[in-house]
C-alpha cells in the first residue's frame, strides 16, 4: 500500500515537472515567435521601400526629358525633391542595417580561441568558457545555444589570427547579462588564455562603433564615464548630465559650446580630425597679471598672463610672505591709466564679494585669490595684488570699520625721504 502511494506521488511529481518545463519552453517559443513576426514586418516594410526606389527612376526619367527643355534645369540639380530622395535612400539603408543588427542582437562574438580547439563542437566550448569564467550565471541563464559556428565559414590560410566564434543565444537579455559579467570581470579566459567576448553587429555598425574608440579612451581617462549604447551611440556624463550622440557631427556641434571638452577632443583621430573648425569662434578676455604688488610688501602672483573665455570665471592667485599683513587690496590698471582699487579684504575675513568680484583669503597658507565672474572684454587689464600692514613697533591696532578708498595718485620707485603727507577730514 505504502509502495503504491510512493509511486503515485513520484508519478504526479514527474507529470507536474514535465508540464512545468513544457510551459516554460512554450513561453520562450512564443517570445521567439513574436520577435520573428516583428522582424518579418520590418523586412516587408524595407522591401517595399527598396521596391519603390528601384521603380521610381523609370518615372523620373520621363519627367527629366521634359525638364531638359528648360535651361534652368541645370541650376536645379540640388532641388528639395532630390534631397528628399537622398534622405529616403539613407533611411532605407539605415533600416536594412537596423534589421541586420536585429537579427544578430542575441549573438555573442568570441575572439581569440585557437582554431584547433574542437572545430565541430563550438557549443560545448562556449559552455566550458561559461563554467571557467561565470559559474554563478550557469544556474541563472538558459544556455540552450540555438546556433554556434566560426566566421567566416572557410579558413584563410594566410590569416594569422583565429576566426571568431558566433554563439546565438535564445534571448537578448541572457546575452546582455553575459557581456555585462565579462565587462565587470575584465579578463575572460579559456583554459587560462585570455579571450574576448563582444556583441555581434553588422559590418556598418561595427565600423560606426570603432569610430568612437579614440574618443571613448580620452573620455574614460578624464572620468566622463563613457558608454557605447546599442547599436552605435556614445553616451557620457558632463556637468551632472548624461549626453548621448549617434555620430561625430552632432557631438562636434555640442562640444563647440563646451571649451574644456573642445580642447580635450581636438587632437588627431578625435572628433575634430579632418574637420574644418574655423566655424568655432570664442571671445577671450586677456588678463596680463602683474609680477609684484604695491605698498612695499613682498607678494608673488603665480601667472604672468591669463586668457579666459568670455562669460567664464577668471581666477588670479597671489601669495605673500609677511604674516603681519592686515589688509589685502586688488588693483586694476587699464591701458593708459593708473591702478584703480577694485576690491580688498581684511585679515579677519576669509571672503569678500562685490558685484562680479570675489576675494578669498587663506591666511594660514598666506594665499589669496581674485575671482572675476562672467568675464567681459572690459575686464582685459593688468591686475595687482598687494599686502599692507597697519602695525608699527610698539602697538598694533586693527581698524575693522575703516573703508579704504580709491587712490588719487600713484607712483613707483619712491623713497621715504621724498614723501610728505597731508591728511584731510571732511574737507578740512
Q: Per-residue pLDDT tens for 196-226?
A: 998 887 777 878 888 888 888 888 888 888 8
Contact 266, 280 (CB under 8 A): no
pLDDT tens digit sequence for 24-58: 776 776 676 676 666 666 666 666 666 665 555 55
Average pLDDT of 293-322? 66
Per the CB < 8 A criterion, the answer to whether 129 and 148 are in contact is no
Say whether pLDDT at 87 is over 70. yes
What phi and psi, each to the nearest 5 degrees, are found at residue 136? -70, -25
**What's the confidence (pLDDT) of residue 217?**
86
Q: Hey, which residues does 148 pair with through a beta bridge? A: 167
- Residue 43: the pLDDT is 67
pLDDT tens-digit series, residues 144-177 = 888 888 888 777 777 788 888 998 888 888 888 8
Statement: the pTM of the whole predicted model exceeds 0.85: no
What mean pLDDT do residues 336-355 have? Answer: 88
pLDDT tens per residue across span 55-77: 555 555 455 555 555 544 444 45
| Beta-bridge partners for 169 | none
CA distance 258 to 282: 10
pLDDT of amino acid 353: 93
Average pLDDT in the chain: 73
Grid coordinates belonging to 294: 604695491
pLDDT for 278 beyond 60: no
Least confidently predicted of 227-241, 299-313, 315-329: 299-313
Percent of the chain with pLDDT over 90: 7
Model confidence at 252: pLDDT above 70: yes
Phi, psi (rounded to 5 degrees) for 25: -65, -35
Higher pLDDT: 188 or 249? It is 188
Which residue intervals of 266-330 are DSSP H helices?
A: none
Most confident range (mean pLDDT) of 114-123, 307-316, 350-359, 409-418 is: 350-359
pLDDT bucket at 10, cuts 50 / 70 / 90:
confident
Give CA separation, 363 vs 35, 213, 401, 403, in Å: 69, 47, 20, 21
Alpha helices, DSSP H only, in 186-280? 203-210, 213-221, 248-255, 259-264
- Burial label, 149 (beta-carbon count in 10 A; 0-12, 13-18, 19+): middle
Higher per-residue confidence, 361 vs 282: 361
Which string of DSSP letters, residue by residue, matches 119-178?
TT-HHHHHHHHHHHH-HHHHTTS----SEEEEESSSPPTT--SPPEEEEE-S-HHHHHHH
What is d(CA 319, CA 339) in angstroms, rounded to the nearest whole number?
Answer: 20
Distance CA 25, CA 3 (A): 33
The whole-angstrom separation of Cα 188 and Cα 130 is 10
Amino acid at each position: 500500500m505504502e509502495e503504491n502511494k510512493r509511486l503515485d506521488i513520484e508519478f504526479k511529481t514527474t507529470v507536474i515537472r514535465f508540464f512545468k518545463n513544457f510551459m516554460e519552453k512554450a513561453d520562450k517559443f512564443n517570445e521567439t515567435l513574436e520577435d520573428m513576426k516583428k522582424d518579418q514586418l520590418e523586412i516587408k516594410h524595407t522591401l517595399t521601400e527598396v521596391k519603390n526606389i528601384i521603380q521610381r527612376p523609370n518615372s523620373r526619367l520621363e519627367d527629366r526629358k521634359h525638364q531638359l527643355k528648360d535651361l534652368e534645369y541645370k541650376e536645379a540639380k540640388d532641388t528639395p525633391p532630390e534631397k528628399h530622395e537622398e534622405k529616403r535612400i539613407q533611411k532605407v539603408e539605415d533600416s536594412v542595417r537596423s534589421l541586420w543588427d536585429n537579427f544578430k542582437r542575441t549573438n555573442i562574438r568570441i575572439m581569440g580561441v585557437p582554431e584547433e580547439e574542437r572545430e565541430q563542437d563550438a557549443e560545448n566550448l562556449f559552455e566550458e568558457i561559461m563554467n571557467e569564467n561565470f559559474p554563478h550565471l550557469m544556474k541563472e541563464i538558459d544556455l540552450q545555444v540555438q546556433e554556434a559556428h566560426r566566421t567566416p565559414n572557410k579558413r584563410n590560410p594566410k590569416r594569422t589570427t583565429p576566426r571568431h566564434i558566433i554563439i546565438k543565444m535564445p534571448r537578448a537579455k541572457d546575452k546582455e547579462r553575459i557581456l555585462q559579467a565579462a565587462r565587470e570581470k575584465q579578463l575572460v579566459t579559456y583554459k587560462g588564455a585570455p579571450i574576448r567576448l563582444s556583441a555581434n553587429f553588422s559590418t556598418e555598425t561595427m565600423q560606426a562603433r570603432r569610430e568612437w574608440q579614440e574618443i571613448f579612451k580620452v573620455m574614460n581617462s578624464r572620468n566622463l564615464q563613457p558608454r557605447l549604447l546599442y547599436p552605435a551611440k556614445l553616451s557620457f556624463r558632463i556637468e551632472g548630465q548624461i549626453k548621448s550622440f549617434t555620430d561625430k557631427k552632432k557631438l562636434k556641434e555640442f562640444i563647440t559650446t563646451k571649451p574644456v571638452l573642445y580642447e580635450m577632443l581636438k587632437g588627431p583621430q578625435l572628433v575634430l580630425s579632418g574637420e574644418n573648425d574655423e566655424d568655432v569662434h570664442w571671445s577671450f578676455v586677456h588678463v596680463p597679471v602683474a609680477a609684484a604688488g604695491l605698498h612695499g610688501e613682498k607678494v608673488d602672483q603665480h601667472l604672468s598672463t591669463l586668457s579666459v573665455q568670455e562669460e567664464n570665471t577668471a581666477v588670479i592667485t597671489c601669495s605673500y610672505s609677511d604674516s603681519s599683513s592686515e589688509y589685502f587690496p586688488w588693483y586694476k590698471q587699464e591701458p593708459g591709466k593708473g591702478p584703480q582699487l577694485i576690491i580688498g579684504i581684511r585679515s579677519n575675513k576669509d571672503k569678500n564679494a562685490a558685484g562680479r568680484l570675489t576675494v578669498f583669503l587663506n591666511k594660514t597658507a598666506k594665499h589669496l585669490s581674485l575671482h572675476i565672474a562672467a568675464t567681459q572684454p572690459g575686464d582685459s587689464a593688468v591686475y595687482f595684488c598687494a599686502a599692507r600692514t597697519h602695525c608699527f613697533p610698539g602697538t598694533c591696532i586693527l581698524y575693522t570699520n575703516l573703508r579704504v578708498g580709491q587712490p588719487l595718485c600713484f607712483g613707483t620707485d619712491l623713497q621715504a625721504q621724498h614723501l610728505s603727507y597731508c591728511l584731510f577730514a571732511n574737507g578740512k
